[in-house]
A and B are shown apart, each in its own frame.
Chain A
Amino acid sequence: MTPVTQKLYTDDVSLLMVLLDTNPFFWSTSKSTSLSFSNFISHVLAFLNSVLLLNQFNQVVVIATGFNTCDYVYDSSSSPTNQRAETLLRKFEEFVVKDEQLSKEDSVDGIGNSLLSGSLSMALCYIQRVFRSGSLHPQPRILCLHGSPDGPGQYVAVMNAIFSAQRSMVPIDSCVLGVQHSAFLQQASYITGGVYLKPQQLDGLFQYLSTVFGTDLHSRRFLQLPKPVGVDFRASCFCHKNTIDMGYICSVCLSIFCKHHKKCSTCGSVFGQAQTNAPSTSNQKRKTADT
């Protein structure tokens, strides 16, 4: 990982953006897995404390990823050092209440998915602001603590966020708390050079966090960190938001469709007639899935 600009700071000063999944549907079902939400928060709090302990210039920003909304919950640069936990928890409660109010309108079936794309964008916006504040800034990275399954509807937004993180060389680390692997986060970490990990034992979450995700970007060049085992590269189609193995791609704007269209819905290009029996390889792209 190359640093974005020449830094006057010492090598290991970091800005950690933590995205916490607060999806109530996920946490209510996760009682079977050993981690309850309050335990989870206490692990995370200890982790935040330890990151801030490592360097006095380290900065931590927490963004809550709710079911309907997301918001900045804590920013270490604007809060006093004592009563860190109290401030965070208070804001957190306010956020959960707000999220709940918004969600009353529509009923959900299953766990539902939380607004990962929104919180990723917020994190990137924050990082951009830090980049523009001057030449002297800590090295940013994003840590997603995510449990809910991927929302195929957010595919485009999430991918855009990932690519913009890649452009500004911000690694996205992901720690998956749910039962299934997350294809979005696998791709995010793979593309941006972050670490993807699905902890085996969630009651030791702090040790995972401090060992793997506490590593600053400078030290990552010297340490063994978990390597991606297999990344699910499957894309979602733009028309029905389904995850697909095989599909059609617009040759102009690279939009993905699950079946043949006359016109691209994104850029408006008119497609030729599809050869029904044997689609030519030029307008069809195959993506392999290793699951």
Chain B
Amino acid sequence: MPQVKIIAKNFMDMVASLPAMKLDKLYDNAFICEAILRSLPPLAKKYVLQMLYIDVPVSAKSMQEWVLADGFSKHNVAIDRLIQLRLFTEAVDRKKETTYRLNPTFQINLQKHIIHGGVLPREPMPSNITVRLPSLEDLDAYAAEQWECFLLHLISSSTQGEKTTNFSSSLMKIFQRGLLSQRDKEPPKLTESGFQFLLMDTNAQLWYIIREYITNSEERGLDSADLISFMLELSFHVTGEAYNMNTLTDSQRNVIKDLADLGLVKLQQGRKESWFIPTKLATNLSISLSDTASRKLGFVVVETNFRVYAYSTSKLHCEILRLFSRVEYQLPNLIVAAITKENLYNAFENGIMAEQIISFLQQNAHPRVAERVPSVPENVTDQIRLWESDMNRVEITPAHFYDEFPTREVFDAACDFAREYGGLLWEDSKTMRLVVKAEILMHMRDFLRREKQ
């Protein structure tokens, strides 16, 4: 997936941007320490481990001796990251040397972890109370369905009647902001980033939504640091186990309900107790979201004749295909579409890039074709790229046109002047006409005025 501008890379970038006070508070929670450690670049992890039992500050100079000559850039990235997350505190000692030491709260929490091993944030409920727990497959299916339902709801105009989520419409508006644009009296239209959003993989989409959810939490009276710590804690629960709702605080219970709509958890009600079951989406939250370990099975077969066969029953997939192809038939389990020039032009106008379409087709390739190299026929990918470059055949540069020069000397001098500024676009010495870039208009004007005198 090409880097799209609306992705903040992951959870930890968001954590890093928290104010220092809140960040320090976060480290009181052992799970956050663990999640944060895991999110660090490999070298940074290594340094934390190495300094775990060192109680005195370590000078920057001696740390540099740990790395080989060609690892310095990585070393600096690691140190910067550690300082940014306030895991390292920088100080200058008596000898005027920079020293680092590990954040004490963080250090103690990790030391505990290393001695006692991993613990679970909550004890799962005994199986005699929770009777009908869903199997892992059912749970995955449930999560996928909830998520898809949410996405459909998100992109379909809010006028549609079927209300499937209990998100307040204001919250939904927040999610839609940036993805949909609405002009007066027109139905809402997907924006450029909205299209890109649909073509991202689930983890990236989920992250985008969660990010919006967290950044707007203050308006709903929730502390964003609390929310982050709760979400990270959630990701350390075991998929498919049931956890008692009574162990949550009131505000957490509200959050859980929202998360259930996204498919992160499944709520179930027993005779007396109610419980939540985290799905794979929830446990993947703290994983660096570029991770592809949770990839789903693909469903798209692209043929050399530009036909697309999508083995899917999902309405969402159909909508996505519609973004760049003409849907021809829709059978109960199969969508047949054709990639046409018109549809692609439409897509390009909406701001979708050829690479995004191609990577969508490749990432979702049906297992039967996914083994083949390339999974999408080359002539199709080439053509998509060609059509895209078709759109960019003409380059537009704002320019100014000069003619009727009094003498050839003035014309030549003007040409040289424009060339010097790198603004000469076109010249015709026979008819003494000249086109220059608009940026150097002022310089040109001054120059010609001087020439006149």
Which A residues have a C-beta under 8 Å from some C-beta of B? 8-12, 45-46, 49-50, 52-57, 81-85, 136, 206-207, 210-211, 214-216, 218-219, 221-224
Question: Closest CB-CB distance, A43 to chain B, in whole Å?
Answer: 11
A-B contact pairs, 30 of them (CB 8 A): A9-B291, A9-B293, A49-B114, A50-B114, A53-B38, A53-B110, A53-B113, A53-B114, A53-B118, A54-B38, A54-B45, A55-B38, A56-B38, A81-B120, A82-B117, A82-B120, A85-B117, A206-B53, A210-B52, A211-B49, A215-B46, A216-B42, A219-B42, A222-B43, A223-B46, A223-B71, A224-B65, A224-B66, A224-B67, A224-B68
Question: Of A12, A57, A81, A136, which one neighbours B45 at CB under 8 angstroms?
Answer: A12
**What per-residue 1/0 map shows which CB atoms of B140-183 lie under 8 Å from chain A?**
00000000000000000000000000000000000000000000
CA distance A136 to B45 in the complex (A): 22
Closest to B291 in A: A10
Say whether A84 contacts B43, CB under 8 Å.
Answer: no
Question: Closest CB-CB distance, A253 to chain B, in whole Å?
Answer: 40
- Indicate if B50 sits at the interface (CB-CB under 8 A): yes
Closest to A215 in B: B46
B74: chain A residues within 8 A (beta carbon)? 222
Say whether B118 contacts A222, CB under 8 Å.
Answer: no
Closest to A210 in B: B49
CA distance A83 to B118 in the complex (A): 8
- Indicate if B288 sits at the interface (CB-CB under 8 A): yes
CA distance A46 to B117 in the complex (A): 8
A56: chain B residues within 8 A (beta carbon)? 38, 287
CA distance A52 to B116 in the complex (A): 12
Which B residues have a C-beta under 8 Å from some C-beta of A? 34, 37-38, 42-43, 45-46, 49-50, 52-53, 65-68, 70-71, 74-75, 110, 113-120, 287-288, 290-293
Say whether A222 contacts B75, CB under 8 Å.
Answer: yes
CA distance A275 to B386 in the complex (A): 77
Question: Closest CB-CB distance, A3 to chain B, in whole Å?
Answer: 14
Say whether A49 contacts B115, CB under 8 Å.
Answer: yes
CA distance A237 to B71 in the complex (A): 43
Counting chain A CB atoms within 10 Å of each CB, the highest count among B68, B71, B116, B118 belongs to: B118
CA distance A118 to B386 in the complex (A): 59
Question: Of A10, A214, A224, which one neighbours B288 at CB under 8 angstroms?
Answer: A10
- Besides the known contacts A50-B114, A211-B49, A218-B42, 14 further A-B residue pairs in the complex with CB atoms under 8 A apart: A46-B115, A49-B113, A50-B49, A53-B110, A54-B38, A55-B45, A136-B293, A219-B43, A219-B46, A222-B67, A222-B71, A223-B68, A223-B71, A224-B65
Say whether B120 contacts A221, CB under 8 Å.
Answer: no
Question: Closest CB-CB distance, B12 to chain A, in whole Å?
Answer: 13
6 tightest CB-CB pairs across the interface, nearest first?
A222-B71, A12-B42, A81-B118, A84-B117, A49-B114, A219-B42
CA distance A49 to B30 in the complex (A): 14
Question: Closest CB-CB distance, A115 to chain B, in whole Å?
Answer: 28
Say whether A8 contacts B293, CB under 8 Å.
Answer: yes
Closest to A53 in B: B113
Question: Of B37, B288, B290, which one neighbours A53 at CB under 8 angstroms?
Answer: B37
CA distance A218 to B290 in the complex (A): 18
A52: chain B residues within 8 A (beta carbon)? 118
A215: chain B residues within 8 A (beta carbon)? 46
Say whether B293 contacts A57, CB under 8 Å.
Answer: yes
Closest to A47 in B: B114
Closest to A56 in B: B38
Say whether B42 contacts A11, CB under 8 Å.
Answer: yes
Closest to B292 in A: A8
B42: chain A residues within 8 A (beta carbon)? 11-12, 216, 218-219
Say whether A54 contacts B37, CB under 8 Å.
Answer: yes
CA distance A136 to B283 in the complex (A): 19
Question: Closest CB-CB distance, B23 to chain A, in whole Å?
Answer: 20
Closest to A221 in B: B71
Say whether A83 contacts B38, CB under 8 Å.
Answer: no
CA distance A231 to B235 in the complex (A): 47
CA distance A185 to B119 in the complex (A): 36
A219: chain B residues within 8 A (beta carbon)? 42-43, 46
Knowing A8-B292, A46-B114, A54-B45 touch, does A222 contact B70 (C-beta < 8 A)? yes
CA distance A12 to B443 in the complex (A): 55
Closest to A84 in B: B117
B65: chain A residues within 8 A (beta carbon)? 224
CA distance A274 to B68 in the complex (A): 51
Counting chain B CB atoms within 10 Å of each CB, the highest count among A12, A45, A56 belongs to: A56
Say whether B49 contacts A54, CB under 8 Å.
Answer: yes
Closest to B110 in A: A53
